[in-house]
Amino acid sequence: MQQFDAKIEKDVNIEPKDWMPDDYRKHLIRQISQHAHSEVIGMQPEGNWISRAPSLRAKKILLAKIQDEGGHGLYLYSAAETLGISRDELIQQLHDGKAKYSSIFNYPTLTWADIGAIGWLVDGAAIVNQVSLQRTSYGPYSRAMIRICKEESFHQRQGYEIMANMMNGSAAQREMAQDAMNRWWWPSLMMFGPHDSDSPHTGNAMKWKIKRQSNDILRQKFIDKTVQQAEVIGLTIPDKDLRWNESKKCYDHGEINWNEFNEVINGNGPCNKQRMSNHIQAHQEGEWVRKAATAYANKNKQLVNQ
C-alpha cells in the first residue's frame, strides 16, 4: 500500500502487474468500461446518417469517424481487460443494465446538422475530458487516451466544419444548425457528470489521480472555449443566463436540468431502449464472427506451439 501511495504521490503510472488496492481496480474497471461502452454505443446515432450524408466527401469522412469510435472502444476494452476482467463480462454488464454509457448517446439525430453538433459539441466535450485523462494514474488508460485524443481533434473539426458550412448556407440551413445547437447544448454539458458536490466517485478519483480535474472544472473549460467558437459562426448558445464574469474570467451559465440527466442515465431517455436493443441484436448476430476469429487465433497458437 505504501509503495502504491508513493507512486501516486510521485506521478508514477500504476501498471497492470503492480499491486493496487481492490477499490482502485474496481473504480477503474467501472470507469474505463463505461467509457468503452460510450464509444461503441456512440456509433449508433451517427450511423443513422451514413446513407443520407449530403455528399460523397461528407460520407467518407463520417464513415472514417465512426470507424475511429469503434477503434476507441477496442483500445478501452483492452485497457479494462488488463485489470483482470474479460470483455464478455464487460459486455454482459452493459446488456444487464449494470454498466452505464454516456447519457449523450440517448438523444436522436434528426437532421444532418445533428452530425455537425455531435462532432463539434460532443467530441469537443469528450476531448476536454480526455485531454485531462491523458495524465490519469493507470498506465494503459493513460496511453489509450493519448492515442484517442489525436483522433478526437479531427472529429471536433469535422463537426465544426459542418456547422460553419451550414451557417454560410441558406436560411433553412442556418435554422437547422441553430435547432441542432439548441437540442445538443444542454446534453453536452451533462456529459461531464453531476456537480462535484453530488458526484460520489470524485473523491476517490482525485485522491488516486484517476481524474485530474473535477466534473465542474472540466465543464467550465468546455463552456469557455465553445462560446467563442459559436460566436465566430453566428450560432446562439441557448442559455439566457450565459454571460462573461470579468472577476472570475469565465462564463457564468444557467442551471442544468438534472431531472432530465437522471432520467436519461436511469434508462428513460428518448433512445435508451433502441440503443440497447440494437447493441444486443448486433452482438448476438456477430457471434459467428467472434467464434471464427477465435478459432483462427487458436489454430495459429497451436501451429506456433508445435
Chain contacts with ligand 3HC (rule: CB under 6 A): 30-31, 34-35, 38-39, 42, 69, 100, 102-103, 122-123, 126, 129, 190-194, 199-202, 205, 215, 265
Number of C-beta neighbours around residue 15 at 10 A: 12
At 109, which helix (H) or strand (E)?
A: none
**What are the backbone dihedrals phi and psi of residue 245, each rounded to the nearest 5 degrees, phi first?**
-105, 105
CB of 181 to ligand 3HC, least distance (A): 17
Rounded distance, CA 36 to CA 17, Å?
22
Nearest residue (CB) to ligand 3HC, 192 versus 208: 192
Terminal Cα distance for the chain, rounded: 43
C-alpha cell at 235: 450560432
CB of 283 to ligand 3HC, least distance (A): 19
CB of 202 to ligand 3HC, least distance (A): 5
Rounded distance, CA 124 to CA 225, Å?
9
Nearest residue (CB) to ligand 3HC, 118 versus 227: 118
CB of 295 to ligand 3HC, least distance (A): 32
The letter for the amino acid at 269 is G
**Per DSSP, which regions of the chain are E strands?**
243-245, 250-252
Nearest residue (CB) to ligand 3HC, 34 versus 178: 34
CB of 276 to ligand 3HC, least distance (A): 13
**What are the backbone dihedrals phi and psi of residue 251, each rounded to the nearest 5 degrees, phi first?**
-90, 135
Nearest residue (CB) to ligand 3HC, 107 versus 251: 107
Rounded distance, CA 290 to CA 275, Å?
21
CB of 65 to ligand 3HC, least distance (A): 9
DSSP one-letter code for 83: T
Nearest residue (CB) to ligand 3HC, 113 versus 190: 190
Rounded distance, CA 103 to CA 240, Å?
24
Number of C-beta neighbours around residue 294 at 10 A: 10
Rounded distance, CA 170 to CA 202, Å?
45
C-alpha cell at 139: 498506465
Residues 6+ apart with CB under 8 A from 190: 103, 104, 256, 260, 261, 264
Nearest residue (CB) to ligand 3HC, 30 versus 135: 30
Nearest residue (CB) to ligand 3HC, 82 versus 173: 82
Sign of the torsion angle spanned by Cα atoms 139, 141, 143, 145: negative
Nearest residue (CB) to ligand 3HC, 150 versus 240: 150
Nearest residue (CB) to ligand 3HC, 205 versus 230: 205
CB of 143 to ligand 3HC, least distance (A): 15
3 state DSSP class of 138: strand
CB of 215 to ligand 3HC, least distance (A): 5
CB of 223 to ligand 3HC, least distance (A): 15
